[in-house]
A and B are shown apart, each in its own frame.
Chain A
């Protein structure tokens, strides 16, 4: 029973790591292409709402105006319903899994001096 527990609970689900990287890459590609609607599809509902409230504009218009350094997803870690994708430029993207699948919760995040104890500073988060 213990072996079953560790095999099911100790690892990320198959494909989750690839999925969160894909969502991240899709978001940055859509922003770069000016496809605000597709970029917003990669954001969680709360993050979309936060962006619209912050910028006083529709998500698809506001998201392409964000000042976020684009980086390629180089590494992903998944923990239950939360994931973080590390980018080639040193930034990070945080995602969570809801009924719509994996969506971006926070983007443009730079680590603090003590990232284990002090939160990342994010350009956009819910």
Chain B
């Protein structure tokens, strides 16, 4: 039980992620079959649907935008600050900070991760590992969106007796960019509004908020 409690945040989000993914599979299949029947086609099984690009382009276009959002947030919060926001660090701490502040190299202690202690390339890589991995997942998801999106797009093209397009051509289509930008705009709005709303609003007990009694101008304090 203690392990469950100690990892509750990850387990909770894993559970609702899987539930939502399964829900998307069944509702997506139903929507796809509705369109099939409307066009005189035959319905397909949920197994066939979840192994098709129709399903995966819808999944991946959302994944890429979420990972881009966090990638940008991680990067932007190194250099940009927001007065009064718990999402920001102190106004005079912009940049990558000193080795002492970051506890790396000679400033590491015995509990620091090995790659933070050893110095050199490994410490440089480890110092940026969160950004590197989040960026890699974003790029891979976006690439996956482009591959599966092209297949879904071409299926629709053939359905209308139009020619299929190459992957390079697909990257210039409004379909690809509409799928991309409709997700990006919502992520950018949500993260930007979160940074600003948290200046003035509170959630007691949440580390995403300042303490309820903290002043609006206090920056970089988490409750």
* Contact surface of A with B, Cβ cutoff 8 Å: 2, 5-6, 8-10, 46, 77, 79-84, 94, 96, 98-99, 106, 109, 111, 115-120, 122, 125-126
| Residues B158 and A82 in contact, CB atoms below 8 Å apart | yes
The 4 closest A-B CB pairs, nearest first, are A115-B163, A82-B158, A119-B161, A98-B42
| Residues B147 and A119 in contact, CB atoms below 8 Å apart | no
| Residues A9 and B161 in contact, CB atoms below 8 Å apart | no
* Cβ contact of A8, chosen from B51, B60, B140, B165, cutoff 8 A: B51
Q: Which of B95-103, B149-157, B178-186 contacts A (4 or more CB under 8 A)?
A: B149-157
* Contact surface of B with A, Cβ cutoff 8 Å: 36, 40-42, 44, 51-57, 59-60, 63, 137, 140-141, 144, 147-148, 151-152, 154-155, 157-165, 169
User: Would you call the interface of chain B mostly helix, strand, loop, or mixed?
Assistant: helix
Question: Besides A9-B56, A79-B152, A115-B162, 15 other CB < 8 A contacts?
Answer: A2-B140, A5-B59, A8-B56, A9-B52, A80-B151, A81-B36, A84-B164, A96-B159, A109-B161, A111-B163, A116-B157, A116-B169, A118-B162, A119-B161, A120-B163
* Cβ contact of B144, chosen from A2, A46, A106, cutoff 8 A: A2
Instruction: Please give the distance in Å from B36's CB to the nearest CB on chain A.
Output: 8
| Residues B155 and A80 in contact, CB atoms below 8 Å apart | yes
| Residues A10 and B158 in contact, CB atoms below 8 Å apart | no
Report A-chain residues with C-beta under 8 Å of the C-beta of B56.
Answer: 5-6, 8-9
Report A-chain residues with C-beta under 8 Å of the C-beta of B40.
Answer: 46, 126
Q: Can you list 25 contacts pairing A with B, beta carbon distance less than 8 Å?
A: A2-B141, A2-B144, A6-B56, A9-B53, A9-B55, A9-B147, A9-B148, A10-B53, A10-B147, A46-B40, A77-B154, A77-B164, A79-B53, A79-B151, A79-B152, A79-B154, A84-B163, A94-B158, A96-B41, A106-B161, A111-B163, A116-B165, A119-B160, A120-B161, A125-B161
* Cβ contact of B148, chosen from A10, A98, A119, A125, cutoff 8 A: A10
User: Would you call the interface of chain A mostly helix, strand, loop, or mixed?
Assistant: mixed
Instruction: Please give the distance in Å from B97's CB to the nearest CB on chain A.
Output: 33
| Residues A82 and B162 in contact, CB atoms below 8 Å apart | no
| Residues A79 and B155 in contact, CB atoms below 8 Å apart | yes
Instruction: Please give the distance in Å from B105's CB to the nearest CB on chain A.
Output: 35
Closest residue of B by beta carbon distance from A109: B161
* Cβ contact of B52, chosen from A80, A118, A120, cutoff 8 A: A80
Report B-chain residues with C-beta under 8 Å of the C-beta of A116.
Answer: 157, 162-163, 165, 169
